[in-house]
């Protein structure tokens, strides 16, 4: 199930909220666990077994890691087992065909593909469950002896399918004791509605433009249409993804949880380094804490620092999808961030602010082209078109049509991607009014939803 | 901005969400949406198999969306918002000026060229005189009413392409100029993808001119309005946009010359006229002509001139055949989307001596039924 659906809003959520708040404290985690399993099973019922398997494996490993906490060697073994099992799940369900294709391509074998449907959100929850045993091992969080409570964490439906990646240490305490208040519920509602509006009103609508451009043959487009198209995608992916995070954080609050923030106006960044501190924060900090630093971070000399950066960005790319273009996309960022570290940042500091924004935006547009085309050659054609290497017309009447047809949503998108709007709305009543106008319009758009894609399906 | 307002927000959200959820349960399900011209999803039955395959959840989501309380009202809200943010199209339909809706027509692809091959093979395999009539869409005739910068593919180019690829140009009939001359008249529906019967009359006139047939003049007809609330397919696709309905009018001979016997072969039904009154009270009023499309219709008239016409067609022909019926002894109307028998045997068996291929250009670009012409 996805949040941006009428079934979620008007069937699932009211039922879950009613039961949750009617249930006594000690059953609240059970309610969350069961409803999360139903939420997950909704699209692919069979994969409910996967979720239960994950829960049991991590439960046992957690207990064993804790039991042998005095014996580093033994407890380390169980962490490794847990990581291997989790990564195997991820590899089998997400990367098997990619690995087979790569092997077939390199040595000319003909191993048949598995073609397993991708369990929704598997990249998110395997990372979360890994964080559990690792945190217990590092004594950054206490072991969870109640399997229901651990199950509620593993399957917690607000962040199950599209993050943020909530690490166990963040909510270890909240899982056992948390306080739901009307005040917090309201805070959650307003966060949820903002996310819903981002997804349904902005991302879906601007996404239609990208959909048109992407499905046209490049030779029939003009240079400006290509630029307009990729900027539309930049907005779409931000509002889609951060909208989901907002909805997740909001839902969490309704049930008394506090998740960490996942986005912080990434498009106002003045460098790529800054962008990655503001974009998908939970993923960046996961890789930092569980990969980069354990590998030695930047403390073990130049060579190892670069090696570690390479590994982290390779994995960041691969995490986004089982295809080489995502790896290129990740490494591209790795290279730019390294260059920024070495000298670019110093140059940028001297440049005017306008130039820093221009630089960052340009780098990001190019990255989204890599991100979009699984077939690398298509992405390169698109870039060639953008930069005038394909003898396309600069401008054509279709561009003017797209521009005028999407101008309003495009401008609204740009404004909402910056903190400007927040600054202007100071009056509480107006704020509440805007929230419910967003709610109202989102319902209208969901009732007549011809276009409601889910970008994070392959994550 | 924080704290104090939160409680109110929580309460309003809970109340409004629960109210809508309850309404959702209380409001009785509708079977058919007139607005969208489609059957709505019914409550899916819960079986073990459907649940496991995920089919149940898929149908259930559709069911909730389709049966949402005040669905049409929400759709209209969305449509109004789209207008307010200056959107110029929805779901492949342009919002034109003066209440016109138009198709977002794209450059034809492979199917178009395949279809030309099939027509060529039809011309080659028969020795009858074949006319080819590809009728343009309304946007081509009323291009000045398209929204600003809208740029559908030029159908004049498509027709040129068609003409140049035909084995013989002899029977090719170009209607763009003819219809453009009459654009001040009501020749296309504003909300539907068809031409009106008056538009079809000018097509008929051109057909007669090219084939040296004496056409019935317009003065001999009277225009009769059959309905003034026709919301067509463009309207259904564009969903909830505020435009006025079309009128459905027919041309009827003031003094009828002949009598007709219309035979719906595979339905085993007969009639003495071309119309089906049932459709006047339905959504799809264009189907008033012959009750929609049929695989094979024969029309026998008392005009014993020995001329027997075969029409290979889509629904555009339905408005023109009643006019053609005045000039032929027999008309055999074949819709290749449904008729899958050997058309060449049929021509011989029925001593047919004239052929007309009549398609709307946009349909002709996408129709895959013509392949059957190559099959036998």
* Interface predicted TM-score of the whole assembly (ipTM), two decimals: 0.88
Task: Render pLDDT for A105-128 as a digit per residue (tens, 0 to 9).
Answer: 888 888 888 888 888 888 888 999
The predicted pLDDT at position B265 comes to 92
Nearest Cβ partner of B81 from A13, A182, A441? Answer: A441
Q: Which helix (H) or strand (E) holds B307?
A: none
Nearest to B207 by CA among B306, B314, B355: B355
A320 classed as catalytic:
yes
Nearest CA in chain B to A2: B61
pTM check: above 0.90: no
Chain A hits for B20, Cβ within 8 Å: 10, 443
Query: CB contact, 8 Å: B12 with chain A?
Result: yes
Residue A317 pLDDT > 80, yes or no? yes
Query: CB contact, 8 Å: A443 with chain B?
Result: yes
- Report, in angstroms and rounded to the nearest whole number, the Rg of chain A calculated over CA atoms: 23
User: Which residue matches tokens 């023109």?
Assistant: B320
Nearest Cβ partner of A447 from B3, B5, B65? Answer: B65
Phi then psi for residue B284, to 5 deg, are -85, 80
- In this structure, what token pair is assigned to residue A453? 């894609």
- In this structure, what token pair is assigned to residue B140? 């081509």
Exposed (0-12), middle (13-18) or buried (19+): which is A113, by Cβ within 10 Å? exposed
Residue A459 pLDDT > 60, yes or no? no
Q: How confident is the model at residue A297 (pLDDT cuts 50, 70, 90)?
A: confident
| Higher pLDDT among residues A115 and B182, named by residue | B182
Q: What is the DSSP letter of B106?
A: -
Contacts of B361 (CB under 8 A, 6+ apart): B134, B135, B136, B137, B140, B155, B158, B159
Q: Which helix (H) or strand (E) holds B275?
A: none
Mean pLDDT, residues B272-279 taken together: 93
Residue A49 pLDDT > 80, yes or no? yes
Query: CB contact, 8 Å: B2 with chain A?
Result: yes
Contacts of A352 (CB under 8 A, 6+ apart): none
Q: What is the DSSP letter of B6?
A: H
Residue B79 pLDDT > 80, yes or no? yes
Q: Which of B30, B66, B85, B240 to mutate to test the interface with A (most CBs of A within 10 A)?
A: B85
Nearest CA in chain A to B19: A10
Give residue A241's region: left, alpha or beta (phi > 0; psi -120 to 50): alpha
Other Cβ atoms less than 10 A from the Cβ of B376: the count is 12
How does DSSP assign B125-145, residue by residue?
Answer: H--SEEEEEEEPPHHHHSGGG
Query: CB contact, 8 Å: A95 with chain B?
Result: no
How far apart (Å, rounded) are the C-alpha atoms in residues A118 and A114? 11
Q: How confident is the model at residue B291 (pLDDT cuts 50, 70, 90)?
A: very high
The answer to whether residues A49 and A40 touch, using CB atoms and an 8 Å cutoff, is: no
- In this structure, what token pair is assigned to residue A50? 């996967």
Chain B hits for A429, Cβ within 8 Å: 5
Task: Render pLDDT for B112-146 as a digit per residue (tens, 0 to 9).
Answer: 999 999 999 999 998 899 999 999 999 999 999 99
**A1-29 exposure pattern, b = at least 16 Cβ within 10 A, e = fewer:** bbbbbbbbbbbbbbebbeebeeeeeeebb
CB contacts under 8 A, B 84-103 vs A, are 85-89, 91
User: Which residue matches tokens 């307003």?
Assistant: A190
B332 forms beta bridges with B298, B310
Domain boundaries, chain A: 6-178, 184-458
Query: CB contact, 8 Å: B6 with chain A?
Result: yes
Query: CB contact, 8 Å: A429 with chain B?
Result: yes
The predicted pLDDT at position A451 comes to 58
CB contacts under 8 A, A 36-75 vs B, are 42-46
The answer to whether residues A163 and A257 touch, using CB atoms and an 8 Å cutoff, is: no
B173 forms beta bridges with B133
Phi then psi for residue A22, to 5 deg, are -80, -25
The predicted pLDDT at position B229 comes to 92
For chain B, give the mean pLDDT.
92
Q: How confident is the model at residue B154 (pLDDT cuts 50, 70, 90)?
A: very high
Nearest to B309 by CA among B88, B99, B128: B128
Residue A456 pLDDT > 60, yes or no? no
Q: Do A405 and B87 touch (CB under 8 A)?
A: yes
Nearest Cβ partner of A44 from B24, B54, B71? Answer: B54
How far apart (Å, rounded) are the C-alpha atoms in residues B23 and B15? 12
The three-class DSSP label of residue B218 is: helix
Nearest CA in chain B to A397: B149
For chain A, give the mean pLDDT.
91
The answer to whether residues B79 and B42 touch, using CB atoms and an 8 Å cutoff, is: no
Nearest to B288 by CA among B279, B300, B299: B279
How far apart (Å, rounded) are the C-alpha atoms in residues A40 and A137? 28
Q: Do B81 and A407 touch (CB under 8 A)?
A: no
Q: Do A446 and B65 touch (CB under 8 A)?
A: yes
How far apart (Å, rounded) are the C-alpha atoms in residues A366 and A285? 24
Task: Render pLDDT for A177-207 as a digit per residue (tens, 0 to 9).
Answer: 899 999 999 999 999 999 999 999 999 999 9
Task: Render pLDDT for B4-33 as a digit per residue (tens, 0 to 9).
Answer: 688 999 999 999 999 999 998 888 888 888
Chain A hits for B6, Cβ within 8 Å: 182-187, 189-190
The three-class DSSP label of residue B159 is: helix
Chain B hits for A432, Cβ within 8 Å: 5, 8-9, 12
* Beta-sheet strand order (sheet of B101-103): B89-90, B93-95, B101-103
The answer to whether residues B76 and B97 touch, using CB atoms and an 8 Å cutoff, is: no
Please give the share of chain A, as a percent, with pLDDT higher than 90.
70
Catalytic residue (choose from A70, A280, A320, A357): A320
- In this structure, what token pair is assigned to residue A297? 């971070």
> What is the number of CB-based contacts under 8 A between chain A and chain B?
134
The predicted pLDDT at position A454 comes to 59
Domain boundaries, chain B: 4-68, 99-375
CB contacts under 8 A, A 207-226 vs B, are 220
Query: CB contact, 8 Å: B18 with chain A?
Result: yes
Treating both helix axes as pointing N-terminal to C-terminal, what angle do A428-447 and B4-26 enclose, rounded to 10 degrees? 20
Nearest Cβ partner of A10 from B24, B52, B86? Answer: B24
Q: How confident is the model at residue B1 (pLDDT cuts 50, 70, 90)?
A: very low
The answer to whether residues B252 and B201 touch, using CB atoms and an 8 Å cutoff, is: no
Return the HEC string of chain A: CCCCCHHHHHHHHHHHHHHHHHCCHHHHHHHHHHHHHHHHHCCCHHHHHHHHHHHHHHHHHHHHHHHCCCCHHHHHHHHHHHHHHHHHHHHHHHHHHHHHHHHHHHHCCCCCCCCCCCCCCHHHHHHHHHHHHHHHHCCCCCCCCCHHHHHHHHHCHHHHCCCCCCCHHHHHHHHHCCCCCHHHHHHHHHHHHHHHHHHHHHHHHHHHHHHHHHHCCHHHCCHHHHHHHHHHHHHHHHHHHHHHHHHHHHHHHHCCCCCCCCCCCHHHCCCHHHHHHHCCHHHHHHHHHHHHCCCCCCCCCHHHHHHHHHHHHHHHHHHHCCCHHHHHHHHHHHHHHHHHHHHHHHHHHHCCHHHHHHHHHHHHHHHHHHHHCCCHHHHHHHHHHHCCCCCCCCCCHHHHHHHHHHHHHHHHHHHHCCCHHHHHCCCHHHHHHHHHHHHHHHHHHHHCCCCCCCHHHHC
How far apart (Å, rounded) are the C-alpha atoms in residues A257 and A260? 10
């Amino acid at each position: 199930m996805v949040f941006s659906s009428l079934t979620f809003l008007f069937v699932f959520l009211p039922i879950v909220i009613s039961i949750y708040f009617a249930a006594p404290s000690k059953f609240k985690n059970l309610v969350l666990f069961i409803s999360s399993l139903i939420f997950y099973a909704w699209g692919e019922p069979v994969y409910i077994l996967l979720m239960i398997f994950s829960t049991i494996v991590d439960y046992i490993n957690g207990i064993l890691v804790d039991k042998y906490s005095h014996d580093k060697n033994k407890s380390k073994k169980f962490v490794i087992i847990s990581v291997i099992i989790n990564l195997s799940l991820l590899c089998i369900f997400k990367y098997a065909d990619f690995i087979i294709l790569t092997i077939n391509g390199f040595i000319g074998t003909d191993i048949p593909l598995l073609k397993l449907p991708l369990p929704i959100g598997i990249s998110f929850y395997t990372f979360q469950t890994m964080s559990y045993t690792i945190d217990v091992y590092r004594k950054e969080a206490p072991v969870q002896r109640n399997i229901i409570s651990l199950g509620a964490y593993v399957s917690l439906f607000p962040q199950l399918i599209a993050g943020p990646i909530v690490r166990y240490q963040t909510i270890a305490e909240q899982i056992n004791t948390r306080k739901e208040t009307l005040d917090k519920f309201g805070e959650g509602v307003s966060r949820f509605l903002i996310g819903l509006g981002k997804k349904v009103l902005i991302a879906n609508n601007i996404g239609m433009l990208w959909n048109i451009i992407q499905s046209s043959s490049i030779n029939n487009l003009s240079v400006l249409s290509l630029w307009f198209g990729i900027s539309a995608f930049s907005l779409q992916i931000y509002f889609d993804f951060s909208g989901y995070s907002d909805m997740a954080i909001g839902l969490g609050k309704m049930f008394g949880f506090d998740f960490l923030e996942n986005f912080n106006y990434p498009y106002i960044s003045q460098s790529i380094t800054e962008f990655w501190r503001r974009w998908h924060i939970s993923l960046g900090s996961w890789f930092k804490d569980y990969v980069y630093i354990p590998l030695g971070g930047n403390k073990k000399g130049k060579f190892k620092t670069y090696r570690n950066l390479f590994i982290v960005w390779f994995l960041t790319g691969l995490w986004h999808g089982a295809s080489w273009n995502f790896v290129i996309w990740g490494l591209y960022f790795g290279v730019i961030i390294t260059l920024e570290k070495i000298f670019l940042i110093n140059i940028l500091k001297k440049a005017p602010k306008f130039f820093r924004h221009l630089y960052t935006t340009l780098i990001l547009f190019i990255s989204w082209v890599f991100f979009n085309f699984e077939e690398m050659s298509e992405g390169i054609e698109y870039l060639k078109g953008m930069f005038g290497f394909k003898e396309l017309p600069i401008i054509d009447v279709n561009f003017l049509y797209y521009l005028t047809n999407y101008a309003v949503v495009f401008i609204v998108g740009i404004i909402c991607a910056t903190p400007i709007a927040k600054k202007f709305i100071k009056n509480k009543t107006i704020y509440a009014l805007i929230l419910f106008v967003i709610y109202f319009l989102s319902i209208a758009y969901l009732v007549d939803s011809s276009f409601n894609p889910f970008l994070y399906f392959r994550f | 901005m924080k704290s104090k307002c939160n409680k109110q927000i929580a309460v309003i959200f809970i109340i409004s969400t629960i109210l809508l959820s309850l309404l959702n349960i209380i409001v009785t399900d509708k079977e058919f949406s007139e607005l969208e011209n489609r059957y709505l999803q019914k409550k899916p039955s819960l079986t073990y198999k459907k649940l496991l395959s995920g089919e149940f959840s898929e149908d259930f989501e559709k069911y909730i969306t389709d049966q949402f309380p005040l669905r049409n009202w929400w759709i209209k809200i969305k449509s109004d918002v789209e207008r307010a943010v200056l959107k110029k199209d929805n779901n492949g339909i342009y919002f034109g000026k003066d209440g016109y809706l138009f198709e977002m027509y794209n450059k034809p692809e492979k199917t178009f060229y395949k279809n030309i091959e099939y027509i060529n093979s039809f011309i080659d395999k028969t020795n009858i005189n074949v006319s080819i009539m590809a009728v343009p869409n309304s946007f081509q005739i009323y291009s000045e009413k398209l929204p600003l910068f809208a740029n559908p593919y030029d159908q004049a180019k498509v027709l040129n392409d068609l003409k140049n690829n035909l084995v013989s140009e002899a029977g090719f009939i170009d209607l763009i100029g003819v219809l453009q001359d009459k654009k001040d008249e009501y020749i296309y529906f504003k909300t539907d993808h068809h031409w009106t019967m008056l538009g079809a009359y000018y097509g008929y006139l051109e057909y007669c001119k090219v084939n040296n047939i004496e056409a019935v003049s317009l003065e001999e007809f009277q225009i009769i309005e059959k309905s003034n609330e026709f919301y067509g397919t463009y309207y259904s696709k564009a969903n909830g946009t505020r435009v006025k309905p079309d009128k459905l009018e027919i041309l009827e001979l003031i003094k009828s010359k002949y009598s007709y016997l219309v035979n719906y072969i595979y339905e085993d039904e007969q009639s003495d006229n071309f119309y089906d009154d049932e459709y006047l009270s339905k959504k799809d009023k264009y189907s008033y002509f012959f009750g929609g499309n049929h695989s094979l219709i024969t029309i026998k008239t008392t005009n014993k001139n020995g001329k027997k016409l075969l029409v290979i067609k889509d629904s555009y022909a339905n408005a023109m055949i009643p006019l053609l019926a005045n000039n032929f002894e027999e008309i055999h109307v074949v819709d290749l989307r449904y008729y899958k028998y050997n058309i060449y045997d049929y021509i011989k068996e029925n001593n047919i001596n004239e052929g007309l291929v009549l398609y709307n250009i946009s349909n002709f670009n996408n129709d895959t039924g013509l392949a059957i012409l190559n099959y036998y």
